[in-house]
Amino acid sequence: MVKDTGRKEERPRAYLYAPKKRAGKRNAQGHTYMPKNMGRKEEIMAESMLGLKRSHRCTEVTKDNVGSEVTVMGWVQKSRNKGGIIFVDLRDRSGILQIIFEESNCGAESFAKAEKLRSEFVIAVAGEVESRAGGVNENLATGEIEVRAKSLRILSESETPPFPIEENSKTKEELRLKYRYLDLRRPDIQRNIRVRSQVATLTRAFLAEEGFLEIETPTLIKSTPEGARDYLVPSRVHPGSFYALPQSPQLYKQLLMCSGYDRYFQLARCYRDEDLRADRQPEFTQIDMELSFVDVEDVLEVNERLLKKLFKEICNLDIELPLTRMTWREAMDRFGSDKPDMRFGMELKNVSQVVKDTEFAVFKSALENGGSVRGINAEGQGAMPRKKIDALVEYAKGFGAKGLAYLAVNEDGTYKCSFAKFMTEEELHTLAEAMGAKPGDLLLFAADRDKVVFDVLGNLRLELARQLDLLKKDHFKFLWVTEFPLLEYSEEQGRFTAMHHPFTMPMDEDWALIDRDPGAVRAKAYDIVLNGTELGGGSVRIHQSDIQSKMFEVLGFTKEQAKDQFGFLLDAFKYGVPPHAGLAYGLDRVVMLMVGADSIRDVIAFPKVKDASCLMTEAPAQVDTKQLVELGIEISDEKE
């Protein structure tokens, strides 16, 4: 039953890997393949593939194969001896298949080997497909059949794994990551990795179809201090000089537009030496694209169709196009966030006008200092215990609030209110009405500078949604956030910095404000947001050198600094640059949301942990002094 390729005869030269004496053997009878005199110890059981050929993956064996012989290979998921019959659940990438060993079928030698099988042994089994004697197992794709073994080879033994190979393991993440090669065997992680592969394949196929060329850009590049911290790579040929690993292919993709490639994409590895969070890794993959001769609309349109395709194929989800769009201003006003989670309401309301004449000092002083008073309505939460409200107040303080004012509408229409003594009943009533409160609702208010108010209420809104279990993982709400501010003022640096990056095009109608009120200029920048996570973002780029020069001036670059950092891009722009725009997605985040993973680490084959180390390989590690000498660098003596 073991298949031969049947092609040797056609070959110009005989090329048989099998030793001649075995070449004619066409069964999988499990002899160890090496004569004893070849120096291998007898107790070693690992046998070779010699002469074997897999005919099916486990779940490729179906009812249609009943009566025929198959050769399957994989890992022993479990094995049990029940009255002289050995039942083995064989696992491969496709799933599980039941094998049965009876001595009368497989012979004494194979049966003896089958008796030794333990979890995670790797075996090859040849046998006949039968309908299940013991009745259908509804939980298995192959639940209607089983394979009656005729022969067995043990291809590899296994020690007892440090944790069981099963779905939704409760094993601690440290242990899982130390033995990542075992963790990667678990069905849920295998599904994640498979989805990731599918997303990449579908994305590439879609973009190729749309006229995008995949072009690789270098990863040993020049360091540009703007942005996050670079990973550096010392140069051996040029001692004292360094490459940087790219934070994104930004400049290269713009150069490719200058070079006339029209539509570029790349699944690009990017690097940022930042402190890690749950959704960050030192290296990550970006679906990166750039288009020439386009404006905002064109970029959004093609990307909406890409998202529609991906979520249809992977999640069987029908996204309605066009996706909802919202300006940055509106997103902040309604949700207190530039990446609002649209799976639930609980929108912010600005009640500054309503409370402006009340005597409550907290509200008053916020308004006098140019801030605002805004609230959210946690519907039906009017009976929330004081202790829980206090916890929310503490949570809000974590985002800069000095406090949190609340007003609960009791079922009888009376109020329980933290600032009742500073307002008349009438004022409270007007306020509750402005917030659309009904009996049983809980209103929470923040009063401060806008930035703080948004931050506090935006996060409070999310926290309440978590507590009320409003964030369903299988509920997908997309949103374009547009018209971001071009600049944001950095108190730390005492100057404006680019919100997106220094090449972002201002909105045509706002450019006149660049000198008078730079903070008011909006940009042709856009983010794609899914369930409160920024999946990606991009912008139209500046293609006119006078606007670019002005941008650098506003950002506080001297001409020399601009030339030093971006000289080759500015030079390139002297020779005819097309209008262009682009967008980049975080692939890891896209996959994480698709599969409902809690951590980005669950969708990366070999992730790093918070201190940027790999628990499996123990990288980073010390290296030979010889290597450092060649690179012309030394490790600094620690001073403290």
At residue 610, φ and ψ (nearest 5 deg) are -60, -35
Q: Binding-site residue total for a second copy (CB under 8 A)? A: 169
Does residue 631 touch a second copy according to CB under 8 A?
yes
Does residue 345 touch a second copy according to CB under 8 A?
no
Binding positions for a second copy, 595-614, rule CB under 8 A: 604-606, 608, 611-614
Does residue 630 touch a second copy according to CB under 8 A?
yes
Least separation, in Å, of the C-beta of 352 and a second copy? Answer: 24
Task: Using CB atoms within 10 Å of the CB of residue 424, give its burial: 0 to 12 exposed, 13 to 18 middle, 19+ buried.
Answer: exposed
SS3 string, 349-390, reads: EECHHHHCCCCCHHHHHHHHCCCEEEEEEECCCCCCCHHHHH
Does residue 7 touch a second copy according to CB under 8 A?
yes
Does residue 356 touch a second copy according to CB under 8 A?
no
Does residue 184 touch a second copy according to CB under 8 A?
yes
For residue 427, give the amino acid letter: E
CA proximity to 290, closest of 586, 547, 569, 541? 541
- Has 272 been labeled as part of a binding site? yes
Does residue 472 touch a second copy according to CB under 8 A?
no
Least separation, in Å, of the C-beta of 550 and a second copy? Answer: 8
Does residue 96 touch a second copy according to CB under 8 A?
no
- Has 463 been labeled as part of a binding site? no
Instruction: Give the gyration radius of the chain's Cα atoms.
Output: 32
- Has 69 been labeled as part of a binding site? no
Least separation, in Å, of the C-beta of 541 and a second copy? Answer: 11
The pattern of x and - marking residues 238 through 277 that bind a second copy according to CB under 8 A reads: xxxxxxxx------x--xx-xxxxx------x-x-x----
How many CB atoms sit inside 10 A of residue 347's CB? 16
- Has 534 been labeled as part of a binding site? yes
CA proximity to 147, closest of 102, 187, 116? 102
CA proximity to 443, closest of 498, 359, 373? 373
Tell me which of 283, 313, 347, 379 binds a second copy, using CB under 8 A: 283
For residue 314, give the amino acid letter: I
Tell me which of 95, 467, 578, 599 binds a second copy, using CB under 8 A: 578
Alpha carbon 176 to chain centroid, angstroms: 19
Tell me which of 143, 164, 439, 579 binds a second copy, using CB under 8 A: 579
Does residue 517 touch a second copy according to CB under 8 A?
no
Binding positions for a second copy, 549-568, rule CB under 8 A: 550, 568
Place of tokens 């490790």: 635
- Has 103 been labeled as part of a binding site? no
Does residue 216 touch a second copy according to CB under 8 A?
yes
Does residue 38 touch a second copy according to CB under 8 A?
yes
CA proximity to 236, closest of 630, 578, 637? 630
Does residue 627 touch a second copy according to CB under 8 A?
yes
CB-nearer residue toward a second copy: 423 or 592: 592
Does residue 1 touch a second copy according to CB under 8 A?
no
Does residue 586 touch a second copy according to CB under 8 A?
no
- Has 338 been labeled as part of a binding site? no
CA proximity to 373, closest of 431, 429, 289, 420? 431
Alpha-carbon distance of 401 to 392, in angstroms, equals: 11
Q: Could you give the 3-state DSSP secondary structure of residue 20? A: helix
Integer CA distances (angstroms), 224 to 196, 227, 232, 242, in order? 31, 8, 11, 11
Annotated binding site for ATP: 272-274, 281, 534, 586-589
